[in-house]
Amino acid sequence: MKDTIVAIATPPGRGGVGIIRISGPEATLKSISLELLENTSKNPRQFSFEPRQTYFRRVVDSLNRVIDEGLVIYFAAPSSFTGEHILEFQGHGGPVVMDAVLQRAVQLGARLARPGEFSERAFLNDKIDLVQAEAIADLIDSSSQQAARCAVRSLQGVFSKKIHALNELLILLRTYTEASIDFPEEEVDFLSNSQVAIQLTELMDQLALIRNEACQGSVINEGINVVISGPPNAGKSSLLNYLSGLDSAIVTDIPGTTRDLLREKIVIDGLPVNIIDTAGLRESDEVVEQEGIKRAKVALEQADQIIFVSDGSEDNDTGDDQRLKLLQELAIDNIPMIWVNNKLDLMAQQKPSLCVEKKFSKICLSVKTGQGIELLTEQIKKLAGFNEVGEGSYTARRRHLDALDRVSENLQDAQMQLQSGAGELMAEELRLAQQALGEITGEFSSDDLLGSIFSSFCIGK
Ligand SMILES: Nc1nc2c(ncn2[C@@H]2O[C@H](COP(=O)(O)OP(=O)(O)O)[C@@H](O)[C@H]2O)c(=O)[nH]1
Ligand SMILES: [Mg+2]
């Protein structure tokens, strides 16, 4: 039998109301509640709460001294969030009083819940699937209105439904394929049946569509990492400060001011962006600066986009070749790059401009006056493939994209096997595809995966 868990569900600190949640098997939950709450009924050993009704009760300690008073709500299994019996106590939201109620529940036999354990139980009891469980955490963590709206839609099952529809198509194809392998005497020669090829193509088209939507969803949910790099004194830290609207980075005219990586989270029209400012790249004998440059290079490799900032006012035109050379040294395959030619206010030609080249786009702007900054933010959105969030959008995670990519690989291999007439090998690829698809909703999932997902949740959820 499972144990009974308890946690404070409201955030730490002072608040008007604090909520304690207890979930577990009927017998233990009831016995804990009987001791925890002051008894008011005529028959003191009777658990008398009707499900989903509110009751005003006092929480008492072992000597019957009142710890707190508030509302009690009981949810009977399976009609509760976890699918188990749940008792919620809404008391006063002070850290000391909440902790006292929590400790009393533990004293009576409940165990402190691990982070995400309520959601994990909801998942294990089939109340929600894994995508929905993740959406709960994403909703709580969402950094913009758009992200929150998308997370709610995932929570309501919009994403899961699409995965299920894909799974249905896959099952149909597998049933047919496996049947013709298992019953060769029926002589259903499925390999030469063009219907199979058509179904497979349809499946791959659907998958590509969902992959695209999920990609948007993951960008909205997890944001992108934009790393600012370039030579010293170009205005990198000034750019971080400007974009974040904060004075986080130290700005001086002394080259080599920034050493540590500085991170700020901003939201550009609903797109969450982690901006990382780095030490200017140059040869240096100084140990601290060398370490800063080393860290800058590591950050660059993990970037989703790189902003290369240069001082465009330095030797105006002749300097451009040198700057371009530095940019090319910095470029990393498959990471989009924006060249910000800064200090437009000091240049002869003072109009902001955007010029899209094959390997990068070049924007002339001034961080000091703010001229041309919107060209940069627009370009960041564009490179992230970020469109306005539509009514059907939902959040996804990188984990889901990885799984969808594996499904796609399996289907491509299946197509190849089909073309070369290897029925059994095709069937095996389809099986693997279904398994990868099942990892998304949690139908097939290892304990390690579940552990890593739920442990990142907050306590009490
Ligand atoms: N005139 C002008 N000066 C700027 C501009 N952006 C930054 N600066 C100045 O350039 C110097 C170096 O800036 P900083 O942000 O520390 O550069 P970093 O070394 O690349 O981080 C500072 O004195 C800034 O005030 C700009 O657009 N125009
Ligand atoms: Mg700096």
Atom 1 of ligand 1 has which residue's CA nearest to it?
343
Residues 93 and 181 in one domain: no
Atom of ligand 1 nearest to the CA of 309: 20
Instruction: Among 338, 355, 383, give the residue marking a domain's end.
Output: 383
Burial of 347 (0-12, 13-18, 19+ CB in 10 A): middle
124 is a domain residue: no
30 is a domain residue: yes
- Alpha carbon distance 249, 243 (integer Å): 12
- The dihedral through the CA atoms of 26, 29, 31, 34 has a sign that is negative
Atom 10 of ligand 1 has which residue's CA nearest to it?
235
List, in sequence order, every residue forming a beta bridge with 229; answer none if it has no partner: 308
Structure tokens at 200: 């497979």
- Give me ligand 2 centre to Cα 242, in Å: 13
- Give me ligand 2 centre to Cα 294, in Å: 15
Atom of ligand 1 nearest to the CA of 232: 19
Ligand 1: does its nearest atom lie under 6 Å from the Cβ of 407?
Answer: no
Residues 301 and 441 in one domain: no
Atom of ligand 1 nearest to the CA of 256: 19
Ligand nearest to the CA of 340: 1
Cα dihedral 52→57→58→61 (10° resolution): -50
CATH of the domain at 193: 1.20.120.430
- Tens of pLDDT, residues 204-241: 999 999 999 998 899 988 889 999 999 999 999 999 99
Residue 19: domain span: 5-113
Burial of 422 (0-12, 13-18, 19+ CB in 10 A): middle
Residues 210 and 240 in one domain: no
63 is a domain residue: yes
- Give me ligand 2 centre to Cα 231, in Å: 9
Query: How many domains does the chain fold into?
Result: 3
Strands 224-229 and 305-311: parallel
Cα dihedral 115→121→122→123 (10° resolution): 90
Of 273, 95, 251, 204, nearest in space to 429 by CA: 204
- Alpha carbon distance 316, 26 (integer Å): 77
Question: What is the predicted pLDDT for the residue at 97?
Answer: 97
33 is a domain residue: yes
Residues 424 and 324 in one domain: no
398 is a domain residue: yes
- Alpha carbon distance 254, 382 (integer Å): 34
- Angle (nearest 5°) at CA 427 between 426 and 430: 90
Residues 198 and 277 in one domain: no
Q: What DSSP designation does 184 have?
A: G
3-state secondary structure 75-122: ECCCCCCCCCEEEEEEEEECHHHHHHHHHHHHHCCCEECCCCHHHHHH
- Give me ligand 1 centre to Cα 239, in Å: 8
CATH of the domain at 41: 3.30.1360.120
8 A C-beta contact, residue 222 and residue 398: yes
123 is a domain residue: no
3-state secondary structure 115-141: CCHHHHHHHHCCCCCHHHHHHHHHHHH
Ligand 1: does its nearest atom lie under 6 Å from the Cβ of 258?
Answer: yes
Cis bond before residue 78 (omega within 30° of 0): yes
448 is a domain residue: yes
Residues 244 and 263 in one domain: yes
- Alpha carbon distance 89, 73 (integer Å): 7
SS3 state of residue 27: helix
Ligand nearest to the CA of 309: 1
Position 88, amino acid? E
Residues 68 and 170 in one domain: no
Atom 6 of ligand 1 has which residue's CA nearest to it?
235
What residues have their beta carbon closer than 5 A to ion ligand 2? 236-237, 258
118 is a domain residue: no
Of 282, 303, 310, 324, nearest in space to 227 by CA: 303
- Give me ligand 1 centre to Cα 235, in Å: 4
CATH of the domain at 362: 3.40.50.300
8 A C-beta contact, residue 35 and residue 108: yes
Ligand nearest to the CA of 229: 1
Instruction: Among 113, 147, 174, give the residue marking a domain's end.
Output: 113
- Alpha carbon distance 460, 347 (integer Å): 57
Ligand 1: does its nearest atom lie under 6 Å from the Cβ of 238?
Answer: yes
Residues 77 and 36 in one domain: yes
Ligand 1: does its nearest atom lie under 6 Å from the Cβ of 259?
Answer: no
Question: What is the predicted pLDDT for the residue at 246?
Answer: 87
Q: What DSSP designation does 351 have?
A: -
SS3 state of residue 268: strand
8 A C-beta contact, residue 75 and residue 3: no
Atom of ligand 1 nearest to the CA of 277: 21
Residues 344 and 287 in one domain: yes
Stretches where the chain sits below pLDDT 70 are: 1, 41-43, 184-192, 316-318, 388-390
Phi, psi for 40 (deg, rounded to 5):
-120, -10
Residues 238 and 379 in one domain: yes
- Give me ligand 1 centre to Cα 143, in Å: 29
Residue to mutate (ligand 1; options 233, 238, 326; most atoms within 8 A of CB): 238
Chain Cα centroid distance, residue 421:
41
Instruction: Among 63, 78, 113, give the residue marking a domain's end.
Output: 113
Residues 305 and 372 in one domain: yes
Question: What is the predicted pLDDT for the residue at 188?
Answer: 59
Residues 108 and 55 in one domain: yes
- Alpha carbon distance 144, 28 (integer Å): 41
Ligand nearest to the CA of 307: 1
